[in-house]
Structure 1
């Protein structure tokens, strides 16, 4: 990177925009000025050429020039030409100049006209003192006999040069004023246009400094700045919501962990005090105490596992989806459910249904649904599991059911029905189920069952036959 480019990158954005506008305007004005100057020069030269072509040398000047040559007089050193210089050119390159004109350098094209090999000549030349002139040479009739003589009529280019110089000064002044005005206008436009960006910058700096995610930026219009402001507001709202969910998750997890930890600590202290004092607990009390410790450890392990599963962000993409047989995954989950409820009767009716999902996550979700049915079913009751030909999976238990006022809360994290707080569980199972099914495009709903109990209905998009495999 060149030092100039590095210096430009260190300037504020509005300064860079103003400089870019000024440079762009300067280039445009310079191009327009040069074009205007060139066109004006070409037009003036064309008018001068037309004037020379339409100008006939006065007979007196031609006579005077021929007379001076006949007398052998030298060309005058200074003269006031009036409208133009006039001289007669011989075919050997000599010239005859009247006393009122100045001699102009004869060129080959002038001699060619004098010799009759060229009709006319139009070119630039100089006087004896080096002044630039425009020359037009042609053959003209002269005298009573009408004999042809070669006459060169010249006009000084100084009159064009002076006009062009004045025009160049005028264009330079106008271009300078335009560039300065463009720079000022560019700076004003940059400041006005970047004012919303300044507000956005201050907002970002405020959030970074204070971690205040409640700040919102006014977004008006449909331009890029308004879209950026709305995106920033959406981002801070999402971050605030995520932080609130994280804080709520931590608070709820701490609350749920406190009860089993307190009970576990009490039981461990009782065992330790018994060992320290030498007073052994009765065998039946010790057995009950150890069973309580084991149950609390199991509950803690289950709660920690649910927290690990739920700790992934809601927007986290699931693992690779693949076509799986839902009826096969249901059968695998049923095997685990039977181990948890050996005294229950599980009635199964499964039709083939194929879905796109992550197999391990889907099986965990189905196990959680079946666990709830097993946990709330009375001993010896039946759990009915059915997968219809249209892909609807229903799990029906014959437990106490869920009151209607509690159904809207069953999928909330750590929510547990007051009637179920004495049973093991963390209140996270159905929340994990709902999120897993949402990631696969499915849904779950709980409703009271006719005759008592609860029906869990699961719908996942799929087909009754597997899709054809590509070779």
Structure 2
């Protein structure tokens, strides 16, 4: 059983050539075809012009009664080649098809058109014929009165076509030479065009090979002009810049994650080592201390689990599909988040005024984002304080706490990964919550902002596109 046959046609061979060779070959072929078409057109136009001039010359050549009489008087007498010196060949054609040749003319074979003119069927005729010796001639035949009254004959005036054939042959040779030089010039021009046109592509190729070999994303290609090559270079520079930024963010994420993981892991290892040493040495830890130690281990494990979950959430690319979007009743999602927030802040007064608002989002991600916002408000609220939550009829959700607030110079950084205010570093958390909130809100097409509240505290404002009533084709969920 034989394998598939590989294509070997001219088109396949052309595709296997390097791009520079293909471009040079195509340019040379295009110019060669253009030169050939121009040469043929020039030759045809010249031939038409020469034939037209020959026809006009034959029409203007007069053959009067004296020429007719000379031909008739020489009728039947042979004409020697040395006497055939006339500018044109003249002969008389009778109605029976016989001919009488002028003394200084080459005999020309009589054609049916000549007989038709002699019999009066045609007034005149212009056609090709040949001499008795086989030379091609152009013939103009015209009716003329016969010396006898009441009759007419045809007089033919002929000139050799060799007059224009020689000129056309010389022109053909000249055009062939010019076309050959043009094709050679086209080949050279094609190579030059290919080399000049593909020089930026060569630079791009070297840059790509350098990136593939060294993983150096800092390389940039100089951009000149506004053509397609320049657009390709700009796109490559943008791609490498985006890749470099992505790699930097990845490295920073790993570094920040390692830093955040180090503290709970160190504390957890210390507590576990204390428990292990107690077991090895037989020294029992006082019950109260052991209870506090176990509570600390449990809290650190909870913190590690939350941190790992946040890292998994942030490990997805920003452009990744967040999941199937559904029409969600935002007021119901807020109610669910409020129940969890009240459990985490039992000593706080959490009030809510919620108007109906329906949005298109991923329910689980949206609820987690709102829980993070409320957790921040609970975490930074003083004991016995209050948190006000409002969902206005226009769809703006605000969460206001009465905590220490965020200084104005720190507000631009609150949504960065692992960023934590210096005043909040002693509190539990990884600094990833608001980053996840901002990412979720932006994926739904919404906006989020933090601002200082009048009288102290912070206001988190979230606005997600939606409507106060669910779409009729898709009922709200939640």
2:266 paired residue number: 262
Helix, strand or coil at the partner of 1:217: coil
1:220 paired residue number: 224
Q: Which runs of 5+ in 1 are unaligned?
A: none
1:316 paired to 2:317: no
2:170 paired residue number: 166
1:194 paired residue number: 198
Q: Is the 8 A contact 2:382 2:402 kept in 1?
A: yes
Q: Is the 8 A contact 1:22 1:179 kept in 2?
A: yes
Q: Is the 8 A contact 1:349 1:385 kept in 2?
A: yes
2:391 paired residue number: 387
2:4 paired residue number: none
How does the TM-score come out when normalised to structure 2? 0.89
Q: Is the 8 A contact 1:393 1:457 kept in 2?
A: yes
Q: After alignment, is 257-266 or 94-103 more displaced?
A: 94-103
Distance 1:160 1:405, change over 3 A: closer
1:362 paired residue number: 366
In structure 2, C-alpha distance between the alignment counterparts of 1:329 and 1:271, rounded to whole Å: 43
Instruction: Choose which of 10, 15, 34 in structure 2 pairs with 1:9.
Output: 15
1:208 paired to 2:216: no
Distance 1:359 1:147, change over 3 A: same
Instruction: Choose which of 334, 356, 360 in structure 1 pairs with 2:338.
Output: 334
How does the TM-score come out when normalised to structure 1? 0.91
Q: Is the 8 A contact 1:75 1:96 kept in 2?
A: no
Distance 1:90 1:266, change over 3 A: same
Helix, strand or coil at the partner of 2:429: coil
Distance 1:248 1:145, change over 3 A: same
Distance 1:388 1:98, change over 3 A: closer
1:40 paired to 2:74: no
Instruction: Choose which of 278, 281, 285 in structure 2 pairs with 1:274.
Output: 278
Instruction: Choose which of 419, 435, 440 in structure 2 pairs with 1:436.
Output: 440
| Deviation (angstroms), 1:288 | 2.4
1:21 paired residue number: 27
1:53 paired residue number: 59
Deviations 1:116-162 (A, max 9, x none): 22222221111122111111222223548685332222111101100
Aligned-residue CA RMSD (Å): 2.6
In structure 2, C-alpha distance between the alignment counterparts of 1:431 and 1:225, rounded to whole Å: 39
Distance 1:139 1:454, change over 3 A: closer
Q: Is the 8 A contact 2:84 2:103 kept in 1?
A: no
Q: Is the 8 A contact 1:79 1:102 kept in 2?
A: no
Q: Is the 8 A contact 1:120 1:139 kept in 2?
A: yes
2:288 paired residue number: 284
| Deviation (angstroms), 1:29 | 2.0
Q: After alignment, is 120-129 or 171-180 more displaced?
A: 171-180
In structure 2, C-alpha distance between the alignment counterparts of 1:286 and 1:370, rounded to whole Å: 33
| Deviation (angstroms), 1:103 | 1.8
Q: Is the 8 A contact 1:62 1:87 kept in 2?
A: yes
Instruction: Choose which of 30, 36, 51 in structure 1 pairs with 2:36.
Output: 30
In structure 1, C-alpha distance between the alignment counterparts of 2:255 and 2:170, rounded to whole Å: 84
